[in-house]
Structure 1
Amino acid sequence: MLISIVISFTLFVWISTLSGKLWNKGYDLNALNSISQEVLSAIEQQSTYDKNEVQPILDQFHINHPALRFEWISSDGSTLYDTYGEMNNYSFQQLADRFINMPNNLWDEDNPITLAYSANKNGQPYYLLLSLSSDAMKQGQMYFFVRTLKALYSWALPLLLSFFVPYFLSLWLFSSVNRRIGRLNQALNQVNIRSDVIVLEDKAKDEIGQLTRHYNLMAQRIRRQADEIDQFDSGRKLLLSNLSHDLRTPLTMILGYAETIYTGTYNDENELRTSSKVILQRSRYMDKLLDQLLEIARLDGESLEIHLAPHNLSEMMRKIAADYMLFLDGQSFSIEVDIPDGDVQAVIDVSLVERAIRNLMDNAVRYGKEGRFLGIGLVEEYDVVCITVKDKGRGIAPEDHKLIFERFYRVDRGRKGEGLGIGLSIVKEIVESHQGYIQLMSTPHVETLFLIRLPKHLK
């Protein structure tokens, strides 16, 4: 800042001088006074002040300054010599008229400018009149006449303030900007997924204020993502724990019954058939757990791909309902099917939508078996279709509604052997890939309903 002040002041002086020489040509009062003093000094070196002594001096200065007129006047007003060749006998009024209204008439085009200087020889006064037209004067002139140095304060202080105040304001501005950038830089250096978020307060509406607000949003987003990663890691650890238990229990049963069959220690054919049935059931259960584990690996490895085509939703859902009627036959389940008789067309990936509905149906049978009720419905609206799956079991507590669709989340984490907690997360991913959404409404032991809304045509 100090260097810039010095440079700017130097440039101001240099440019002002240069511009004056280029665009403000002509004589000013200082120049005229200097020329007059040179003329008088040359005349004073002569032995006499008569015409013969003065004429060569005045002619030489006139040749050097052709725009100037030099007149040498005696004390009685008579002209001793005039570089214009005129010989006048001036009266007091004539001389006064030439000086009247000076210096206000310096640039009056109708009147010439006249300056008077005196000399004395042997007690006899003489006068040098120097005159020129206003066109020969500079276009602009400024003068300060100072009697004491105290008078300098009246204009030096404002001048200094006019020069330095902008720089001090700039220095304050840049210092403020530097402090704000420094805080932002320090906060950025400390951004870490394992550290607390540093929130910066900056209400300014300039670019740095906007950048600070973007940083706050970014830091908070990183913190949320770090929390999600921690939750995801916790879910993985819980998954491995649950999976080891869920596999160990049926495997122990399979080994026990298989050993009984192998050693032939069963009592009769009925016991043999029972043992084989248990082995088959537990093997199927383990196979299902492994399928879910493979599904988790697939979801981690690639994004969900959908293949859209027009399909008849009502026909697909009637097929699903028929499968579950057959599966639940003889288990004292009441099944409610509310599907339109006509065709309900929608552009969907039929395999993914069927998979989502079956996941909801499986959950309703598994977790809502206490209510002995299963419902499936389809409603067609203007540009969307609504699919419902409901049961009347134990339901889902309100505090679990926002978490139920997260991967690895299980309502009752203490219960073993009830899946890995990824079924509903898969359903949500399928629904959102179709630009739809899923909603849960649950009143324990009254009704638990999952509502899927899908657009008929994706945008």
Structure 2
Amino acid sequence: MKNRTRIWLIMLISIVISLILFVWLSTLSSELWNNGYDLNELNAISQEILSATEQQNTYDKNEVQPIMDHFHIHHPALRFEWISSDGTTLYDTYGETHNYSFEQLADRIINMPNNLWGEDKPITLAYSANKNGQPYYLLLSLSSDAMKQGQMYFFVRTFKALYFWALPLLLSFFVPYFLALWLFSSVNRRIGKLNQALNQVNIRSDVIVLDDKSKDEIGQLTRHYNSMVQRIRRQADEIDQFETGRRLLLSNLSHDLRTPLTMILGYAETIHTGLYNDENELRTSSKIILQRSRYMDKLLDQLLDISRLDGDSLEIHLAPHNLSEMMRKIAADYMLFLDGQSFAIEVDIPDGDVQAVIDASLVERAIRNLMDNAIRYGKEGHFLGIGLVEEDDVVCITVKDKGRGVAPEDHKLIFERFYRVDGGRKGEGLGIGLSIVKEIVESHQGHIQLMSTPYVETLFLVSLPKNQ
């Protein structure tokens, strides 16, 4: 059953139950807390007395007295008086005798029935009877305490009068239900939109954002839905990006491995068959085999790095280390490596010790990755610089070159995994070196910056806290 149909049924059932409860509770509460006589009961008692006297066919005192005494016994709070047309009391259940004047009678019944529930004077109702043209009067009296505490009467002369009070009564009953129906319809409509949007959530489809600024539970649920689908969309984009990177990785890896492997096989076959001319050619062939093998070993290390990063297994072991000494050793290694390659090397490392709490192996790996990147992509500038600066709470490591540099639009992307700036760098690594550097730096609660002016200076600045 749909919610709209259920709401209609609940509303109709509620109306019927409300009417039944209203009648039943009104009757019950009247019997429990609204004791006493009302006007209808007094009129009924009076009519019974008049009917009984008419059946006697006489209105004499001796005939009327038993009838009035009988009703007085059953209704001791009521006083009955039988009055002749000249105001003489023929019988009074209180045993009193009066000769009422018109003024006295008028004072007793004036402003009735408006004074039925007054507190200052007794209540008197007058009824008439006629015998052979001779009028008689029945006076019924009681105190205001003997009346019910609350009564309401509708005097209807024609059915047209029903329209004047039936419409307000119906509106008073139906307006709350129609308001509730409007509320439920609004809630149902909002839930329907949310349900429809949830049914269309898909990693490959566009995100449906719902606009619901209300502060109720459905509004909160809608905002949670918006946050959820946006997270799903971002995660889907990241998955697509990783998948693209993996495909590119396989393509680059096949290209990067095929060329050195072909060279290794060719020179190895030359050595194996003895087709080299002299010892110099033999040493040259073995040197090329060694270089290409080391290059392939480096590629395999990068693949291992990828698997470690995917498994979030980058473990850090912090300890105090002499950072300046470590960097001097790294600079010496690269000076030896670049000897004879027309590279200008600038080293700016303090002579004194610079202590920092770091994972020495990871930081050394990050610095070497930056220097390899500078040599590989900045070789046109024939310059390599490495520096260390100690400040109050941080140490700053710089690696710079004067090569082609990085365009401003690529500064943020350069640290993403598998990203390469342009097609000219294909076949030169897997595009994960800088992403590993960023991972290591951020794991030390540091940050890395890139500043680049093509063929002037490309600078990588790594800032690490001295104490973790």
Q: TM-score, normalised by structure 2?
A: 0.92
What residue is the counterpart of 1:254 in the other structure?
264
For residue 148 of structure 2, the aligned residue among 126, 138, 146 is: 138
Question: Does the 8 A contact of 2:375 with 2:384 survive in 1?
Answer: yes
For residue 397 of structure 1, the aligned residue among 391, 398, 407 is: 407
Once the 2 structures are TM-superposed, how far is the Cα of residue 46 of structure 1 from its aligned partner? 1.2
What residue is the counterpart of 2:345 in the other structure?
335
User: Is the alpha carbon distance of 1:94 and 1:424 closer, same or farther for their aligned partners in structure 2, counting shifts above 3 Å?
Assistant: same
User: Is the alpha carbon distance of 1:271 and 1:145 closer, same or farther for their aligned partners in structure 2, counting shifts above 3 Å?
Assistant: same
User: Is the alpha carbon distance of 1:282 and 1:155 closer, same or farther for their aligned partners in structure 2, counting shifts above 3 Å?
Assistant: same
What residue is the counterpart of 2:22 in the other structure?
12
Secondary structure of the structure 2 residue equivalent to 1:26 = coil
CA–CA distance in structure 2, aligned partners of residues 35 and 20 of structure 1: 20
* Residues 29-428 of structure 1 aligned to structure 2 (within 5 Å): 29-413=39-423, 415-428=425-438
Q: What is the CA deviation profile of residues 432-456 of structure 1, one whole-angstrom value per residue up to 9, with x for unaligned ones?
A: 2233322222111111112223334
Secondary structure of the structure 1 residue equivalent to 2:304 = helix
Once the 2 structures are TM-superposed, how far is the Cα of residue 342 of structure 1 from its aligned partner? 4.5
User: Is the alpha carbon distance of 1:140 and 1:380 closer, same or farther for their aligned partners in structure 2, counting shifts above 3 Å?
Assistant: farther
Asked if 1:429 corresponds to 2:439, the answer is yes
**Alignment gaps of 5+ in structure 1:** none
CA–CA distance in structure 1, aligned partners of residues 22 and 431 of structure 2: 77
Once the 2 structures are TM-superposed, how far is the Cα of residue 341 of structure 1 from its aligned partner? 4.2
Once the 2 structures are TM-superposed, how far is the Cα of residue 355 of structure 1 from its aligned partner? 1.9
Return the letter of the residue paired with 1:27: Y
CA–CA distance in structure 2, aligned partners of residues 125 and 294 of structure 1: 124
Asked if 1:455 corresponds to 2:465, the answer is yes
Question: Does the 8 A contact of 2:405 with 2:457 survive in 1?
Answer: yes
User: Is the alpha carbon distance of 1:321 and 1:16 closer, same or farther for their aligned partners in structure 2, counting shifts above 3 Å?
Assistant: farther
Which shifted more, 142-151 or 305-314? 305-314
For residue 25 of structure 1, the aligned residue among 31, 35, 39 is: 35
**Alignment gaps of 5+ in structure 2:** 1-10
Return the letter of the residue paired with 1:307: H
Q: What is the CA deviation profile of residues 275-314 of structure 1, one whole-angstrom value per residue up to 9, with x for unaligned ones?
A: 1111111111111111111111122223423233344433
Q: TM-score, normalised by structure 1?
A: 0.94
Identical amino acids, percent of aligned pairs = 89
CA–CA distance in structure 2, aligned partners of residues 341 and 34 of structure 1: 122
Secondary structure of the structure 2 residue equivalent to 1:213 = helix
User: Is the alpha carbon distance of 1:97 and 1:373 closer, same or farther for their aligned partners in structure 2, counting shifts above 3 Å?
Assistant: same
User: Is the alpha carbon distance of 1:380 and 1:170 closer, same or farther for their aligned partners in structure 2, counting shifts above 3 Å?
Assistant: farther
Once the 2 structures are TM-superposed, how far is the Cα of residue 129 of structure 1 from its aligned partner? 0.9
CA–CA distance in structure 2, aligned partners of residues 181 and 15 of structure 1: 37
User: Is the alpha carbon distance of 1:303 and 1:17 closer, same or farther for their aligned partners in structure 2, counting shifts above 3 Å?
Assistant: farther
CA–CA distance in structure 2, aligned partners of residues 312 and 149 of structure 1: 106
CA–CA distance in structure 1, aligned partners of residues 373 and 134 of structure 2: 132
Question: Does the 8 A contact of 2:308 with 2:314 survive in 1?
Answer: no
Paired residue total: 458
Return the letter of the residue paired with 2:270: T
CA–CA distance in structure 2, aligned partners of residues 113 and 379 of structure 1: 109
User: Is the alpha carbon distance of 1:5 and 1:414 closer, same or farther for their aligned partners in structure 2, counting shifts above 3 Å?
Assistant: farther
Once the 2 structures are TM-superposed, how far is the Cα of residue 217 of structure 1 from its aligned partner? 2.5
Q: What is the CA deviation profile of residues 170-193 of structure 1, one whole-angstrom value per residue up to 9, with x for unaligned ones?
A: 212211211111111111111111
Q: What is the CA deviation profile of residues 44-78 of structure 1, one whole-angstrom value per residue up to 9, with x for unaligned ones?
A: 21131122222222122122222111111111111
User: Is the alpha carbon distance of 1:38 and 1:311 closer, same or farther for their aligned partners in structure 2, counting shifts above 3 Å?
Assistant: farther
What residue is the counterpart of 2:3 in the other structure?
none
What residue is the counterpart of 2:453 in the other structure?
443
User: Is the alpha carbon distance of 1:132 and 1:192 closer, same or farther for their aligned partners in structure 2, counting shifts above 3 Å?
Assistant: same
Secondary structure of the structure 2 residue equivalent to 1:200 = coil
CA–CA distance in structure 2, aligned partners of residues 334 and 365 of structure 1: 11
Secondary structure of the structure 2 residue equivalent to 1:404 = helix
User: Is the alpha carbon distance of 1:266 and 1:322 closer, same or farther for their aligned partners in structure 2, counting shifts above 3 Å?
Assistant: closer
Which shifted more, 19-28 or 330-339? 330-339
